[in-house]
Structure 1
Amino acid sequence: MAQPLKDILVLDFSTLLPGPMATLMLAEAGAEVVKFERPVTGEDARHTDPKIEGESIGFAVLNQGKRSVAIDLKAQDTMDVLRPLLEKADVLVEQFRPGVMERLGLGYEAVRAINPALIYCSITGYGQTGPKALAAGHDLNYVGDAGILSLSSGTEDSPTMPFGLVADIGGGTYPAVVNILLALIARQQSGQGTHLDIAMAEGAFTFAYWAHAQGVVAGQDIQNGGSRVTGGLARYRLYTAADGRKIAVGAIEEKFWQAFCDVIDQPQDLRDDLSDPETCAAEVARRLGREPSTHWGPLLVAADCCCSVVKTPAEAARDPHFNARGVFDRKLSIAGQEAPSLPLPIAAEFRSSAGETGRASPLGKDNIRYGAKSP
């Protein structure tokens, strides 16, 4: 099957994570992505650890398959290079604070005058308008402002950091990709582009839909770690086995809960985690703590009760299930060494061959191709 975005040209002015991951997904579906970076140093992500022979692994993972143009956006002759690309581009992705692109002469209205069909996607923390539009922030601030961090942030003595970058990826990358694709479909009917205002803090709200229902609509107080899915019940918690490994107990449905209780031989009078969740949980913890995870793992698999030993990222990459499905089949070249590419939620039939090995372009490799000065 032909790649659905094979004729789409994307101009990528974004850095670090949300925008680069969004354009990576577009590239994986066939789009030609031209990444613009500062001359000499490139974007900051090129210098982050860990590295292989001086090449950043994180940068390589997020920027494989893109073309690199090193250009000073403040230079007087910049528009001589950019105008031909702007005239034929389908999508532009930028991640500056509101107003920066305007000062560079690349704001939406200026670009729209050059190419009315262009889909212009701006990704920021708080959006293009509003009292906090210009405020600095990172993922932790965005999920904090969205109320999500308060739902499961650990104890007063031992605060727990979020395990993933929910706002950056869930509130930035995914909404950007979804809305860019929607805009491309809409353009087929109208012939016109649009300005997409993606605010990471707003996109984070979706990940706690139940908290919206309970805390906003119903107006109920939600205690830290006290809801059904944040540890308020014994049947949906993390416990520690004798070897220190964590056991993920996700036995929400009664049939799974009873099956799990049978595995650990939980007494019948201590299975009601609705009326007395803490007493119930204490006994579950005591029983799971008697044996190592190697003891519990096979028993939980056999019981098929939504309970499992928590894996490390390296263990997950070796999991026979993921390998049987080819999740890590796609390869990436970093400093001449082959490594697994980042798994992305793009259907296999829309991507290039899994046997192809991608890589991130060296800084400025494609300058001549696009009419820019040699870096």
Structure 2
Amino acid sequence: MRPLEGIKILDLTRLLPGPYGTMLLGDLGAEVIKIEEPEQGDYARWNPPQINGVGSRHLLLNRNKKSITLNLKKPAGKEIFLKLVQDNADVLIEQFRPGVMDRLGLGYKDLEKINPRLIYCSLTGFGQNGPYQNVAGHDINYIAIGGILGNTGEKDGPPVIPGIQIADLVGGGLYAVIGILTALVAREKTGQGQYIDISMLDGVVSLIPDAAALYFAEGQPPGRGERRLTGGLPQYQVYRTKDGKYLAVGALEEKFWANLCHGIGKPEWAEKIPRENDPRCAEIKKEMAEIFLTKTRQEWIDLLMFRDTCVAPVLTLEETFQDPQVLYRNMLVEIDHPRAGKIKQIGLPLKFSATPGEVYNPAPEIGEHTEEILKKLGYPEEKVKELRKERVIR
């Protein structure tokens, strides 16, 4: 048994934020019905890169889901959608701009009337209200306004774009999952569904507690690349090695710092750990950079990593998916797809002792489950043919 078995989710999202969230819910056993417009479906289906003609993002983000095509602008499509909502749907998640679902007659107030237990989650960049509610944006815009971009990079250098979509994945998708699961628990107590308004900007702002704490305490924002966790200390830094690769050093505590100092042949540094604004920081950082250039990355790993120094290799993505810890924890799995063949997938980060999730179904073809779902709703075969002819479904 998977932990979310029996929970039915109607998924109107596409691309990255919403599909990432519903992927996690599907991995945990929820029945996720991906509702796509008939012509193109989710853009992730055909956006490059592709594997045998199938978008690789689609293959990853839309596993463990069913797909039905519906034209919600046609009365017959809207009717089918309403039947899906009435058919014991637990959750609906959408990421259109504010007001779009209301104009379709499919807003929360409309659907609450026919399914008062429905949990309705709207996921947008700036939320359902406020001066930016209708402003277009992408991940870079949300982290720019939310304080992450301005706080990322080296001292005296420009802001640096992070290597992942923090707003989309965490501020959006992951927070939507938290909201949905919380609302499901609340419904067990009240018997009522509710509306969840997820703003990716809100999520980003919530992710800067350390920088915010410094600002609230000192009255001025921390300078980029100047504080203890952003590059200001020699013991929390990235260093290049002899072979052109990199090490991540995070020896913040005194015991780790002492172990590191002895490991790199500088035991005299162990007596006093560098602190913020310590005039020794620049000189120690410079000397550490020179020391790490004397050995290869692997030589340093063999010398330091397993000796309580908080040192790790900076891996390429290829190396990450060959790393023994990553593999041991099943964070790389394989699944068969009818068109793409045997494909690699990121594994599940949540490990349950009694009700584990799993990657059990490959990403569906567009509309793969349309007939199956319509049949369950009571639509006869002739009606399905008629709906297809009228382009209500694909």
Q: TM-score, normalised by structure 2?
A: 0.89
Q: Does structure 1 conserve the Cα–Cα contact (< 8 Å) formed by 2:254 and 2:273?
A: no
Of the structure 1 ranges 215-224 and 108-117, higher mean CA displacement relative to structure 2 is found in 215-224
Structure-to-structure mapping, 1:261-280, within 5 angstroms: 261-266=261-266, 268=268, 273-274=274-275, 275=278, 276-280=280-284
Partner deviation per Cα, 1:329-358 (whole Å, 9 max, x = no partner): 45353734222322233334434556x4x2
Describe the shift of the 1:22–1:332 C-alpha distance in structure 2 as closer, same or farther (beyond 3 A).
farther
How far apart are the structure 1 equivalents of 2:75 and 2:287?
A: 70
Give me the identity figure in percent: 37
Change (3 A) 1:217 1:146: farther
Give the Cα separation in 1 of the matches to 2:240 and 2:267: 19
CA shift in 2, pair 1:96/1:217, >3 Å = farther
The Cα of 1:156 is off from its aligned counterpart by: 5.8
How many Å separate the matches in 2 of 1:328 and 1:21? 17
| 1:155-234 correspondence runs (5 A) | 159-234=159-234
Looking at structure 1, the residues matched to 336 and 137 of structure 2 have their Cα atoms a distance apart, in angstroms, of 31
Is 1:33 the counterpart of 2:14? The answer is no
Does the 8 A contact of 2:92 with 2:118 survive in 1?
A: yes
The CA distance in 2 between the partners of 1:289 and 1:367, in whole Å, is: 59
- The residue that corresponds to 2:362 in the other structure is 359
1:282, distance to aligned residue in structure 2 (A): 0.6
Moved more, 2-11 or 324-333: 324-333
Question: Residues 1-375 of structure 1: matches in 2 within 5 Å?
Answer: 2-87=1-86, 88-154=88-154, 159-266=159-266, 268=268, 273-274=274-275, 275=278, 276-329=280-333, 331=335, 333=337, 335-348=339-352, 349-352=354-357, 356=360, 358-371=361-374, 373-374=387-388, 375=394
1:220-271 CA-partner distances (Å, limit 9, x unpaired): 3310011111101000011111211111001111111121122222372697
Give the match's secondary structure for 1:167: helix
**Residues 266 and 283, structure 1, Cα contact 8 Å, conserved in 2:** no
Paired letter, 1:214: L
Q: What SS does the corresponding residue of 1:207 show, helix, strand or coil?
A: coil
In 2, the alpha carbon distance for the partners of 1:162 and 1:154 equals 13
Whether the 8 Å CA contact 2:10–2:34 is kept in 1: the answer is yes
Amino acid aligned to 1:345: P
| C-alpha distance in 1 between matches for 2:238 and 2:57 | 29
Report what 2:378 is aligned to. none
Secondary structure of the residue aligned to 2:298 is helix
Q: Contact 1:9–1:32 at 8 Å: present in 2 too?
A: yes
Report if aligned partners of 1:17, 1:168 keep a CA contact under 8 Å in 2.
Answer: yes
2-side partners of 1:266 and 1:99: how far apart? Answer: 62
**Counterpart for residue 379 of structure 2:** none
Given the superposition, is the C-alpha separation of residues 105 and 260 from structure 1 closer, same or farther in structure 2, using an over 3 Å criterion?
same
**Aligned-partner Cα distance in 1 for 2:368–2:122:** 26
Residues 345-354 or 237-246, more deviating? 345-354
Cα distance in 2 for residues equivalent to 1:320 and 1:250: 21
Letter in structure 2 aligned against 1:306: C
Distance 1:4 1:353 in 2: 10
Tell me the alpha carbon deviations over residues 284-318 of structure 1, each in whole angstroms, 9 at most, x when there is no partner: 00111122212212111242310021111221222
C-alpha separation in 2, matches of 1:159 and 1:126: 22
Structure 2 residue runs of 5 or longer lacking an equivalent are: 375-383, 389-393
TM-score (norm 1): 0.93
CA distance in structure 2 between the aligned counterparts of 1:218 and 1:296, rounded to whole angstroms: 38
Per-residue CA deviations over 1:86-126 (Å, capped at 9, x if unaligned) read: 11211000001101111122111111112111000001111
Q: Secondary structure at the match of 1:77?
A: helix
Distance in 2 (alpha carbons) for counterparts of 1:235 and 1:299: 17
Contact 1:13 1:37 in 2 (8 A): yes
- Once the two structures are TM-superposed, the CA of residue 71 in structure 1 deviates from its matched residue by 1.6
Pair 1:53–1:90, CA change in 2 (3 A):
same
Give the AA of the match of 1:367. T
Deviates more, 1:317-326 or 1:64-73: 317-326
- Alpha-carbon shift at residue 84 of structure 1 (Å): 1.3
Distance in 2 separating the partners of 1:78 and 1:353: 32
Native 8 Å contact 2:333 2:347 kept in 1: no
What amino acid does structure 1 have at the position aligned with 2:117? A
Stretch moving more, 97-106 or 156-165:
156-165
Note closer, same or farther for the CA distance 1:193–1:289 as it changes in structure 2 (3 Å cut): same
- Which region of structure 1 is more displaced relative to structure 2, 146-155 or 267-276? 267-276
Structure 1's unaligned 5+ residue stretches are none
SS in 1 for 2:75: coil
The alignment's C-alpha RMSD in Å is 2.0
